[in-house]
Amino acid sequence: MYDTLKRKLIHYLDKLWVRITLIAILSLVAIGVARLLDPLLPNGIQEVLGAGSVGRLLEIIANSMLAVTTFSLTVMVSVFRAASSQWTPRSHRLMLDDKTTQNTLATFIGAYIYALSSIILLETQLFGEDQVVVLFGFTILILILIILAIVRWILHLQNLGSLIETTRRIETEAERVFGVRMKRPCLGANPLKNLDDVPDDAVAVVAEDTGYIQHIYEGAISEKAEELDCDVYLTAPVGRFIHRGMTLAYVTGDADEMKDCVRLNTMIGDVRTFEQDPRFGLVVLGEIGSKALSPGINDPGTAIDVIGRMSRILESYSQEMEEGDSNIMHPRLWVPPLAAGDLIEDGFAPLARDGGKIVEVQLALQKALAALADHPDETLAKAAKEAAVLAFKRAKSQMIDENDIKRLSARTPAEVQAA
């Protein structure tokens, strides 16, 4: 339960409006602090500290923050649109969740609201003459936050929306999600390798909405399953697009209450998200590489860069735990493991298809797949070899120049060519 509450709390704290609210309510906090410190404040302290100028400071903040926020939003929208059109619309989602951008906007908008509310509170005489020094202190704190935010924002704008920064951020997020999944295989549940493993008497839990499965709170589902003495088979993994009426899971035991719990803790939305979805990062990187190979862009270098990034992500792959593993955290849950073939196809298939005629791309692809074919995990190694065979055959059928075919053949393992 603690893990579920923590994840839900983090999910809400990532919302922009929450950060804005936290900064904006500092004016109300200042009232409470002023009341508490009133007996300790010496007479005439506001004149000594110059706290009487707080009204002018607040007016400056209110006037400037509105302009700065408008400018920042204009820049942000322009950058996001450019990145969506040039690279892939799926990168837009990750850029929206950028912590620096959100913290900067929250600081600017929150400071604007803080200044307005503080001006109103000053006019209502809620602060005594000496208590104004408390508001003055909070205002100085806000000014420091604004200065730090502006400096960070200027530095951040240097790379915001660039191709290198976009692909790097996608790779970093994909590695993070992939690493979390490898540390907690099958979300800490038993591996559901086949639908035939679902008991015949299990009752289906159907979706009430249509969209992508964005998040599964497996901890809450597991706790409820233990309480009701139920087994839950989550057949629809995170990232799958599901229609209303399709099966989310199967449950045994007290089905009615358990079904409500599964639906409540399975988040369905209109877009696919990076969080808890290891495959999505590979899909987005593959899209960027594929788009770079389009005739209008014609940028093989980006495709080659993306191939290297995807191979780095997949290096950390390990086959998810076998049934009966002692490290299973949720013994009443079953979750489908990641399929190595799907991971390879998500990232490399678009580049093998769209870069079939470009020898440089095919050389990079064969090099990456050859490295993954030596991976200690047999399932990933097998999937990489199969992908290399398909990519080589496709490239030979698409390439026109015999010299390109010879170059590719010279760098492709003999077992791939012979398959």
Residue 71, both tokens: 């400018």
* pLDDT of 42: 65
For the stretch 302-342, pLDDT in tens is 999 999 999 999 998 987 755 445 568 999 999 999 999 99
Task: List Cβ neighbours of 211 (8 Å cut-off, separation of 6 or more).
Answer: 241, 242, 268, 269, 270
Look at the block and give the residue holding tokens 């449950």: 251
Neighbour-count burial of 119, counting CB atoms closer than 10 A to its CB (0-12 exposed, 13-18 middle, 19+ buried): middle
Q: Which helix (H) or strand (E) holds 233?
A: strand 231-234
- Report residues of the chain scoring pLDDT below 70: 1-14, 34, 38-52, 127-130, 321-327
Rounded to the nearest angstrom, the gap between the alpha carbon of residue 25 and the centroid of all alpha carbons in its chain is 28
Q: Look at residues 151, 263, 157 and name the one whose alpha carbon lies nearest to residue 207.
A: 263
* pLDDT of 38: 66
* pLDDT of 91: 80
Regarding the domain delimited by 186-269, which CATH topology (the fold level of the hierarchy) does it fall under?
Aldehyde Oxidoreductase; domain 3 (3.90.1170)
CA separation, residue 268 to residues 208, 220, 271 (Å): 9, 16, 9
Q: On the CB side of 407, how many CA atoms lie within 13 Å of its CA? A: 15
* pLDDT of 279: 95
Contact 392, 417 (CB under 8 A): yes
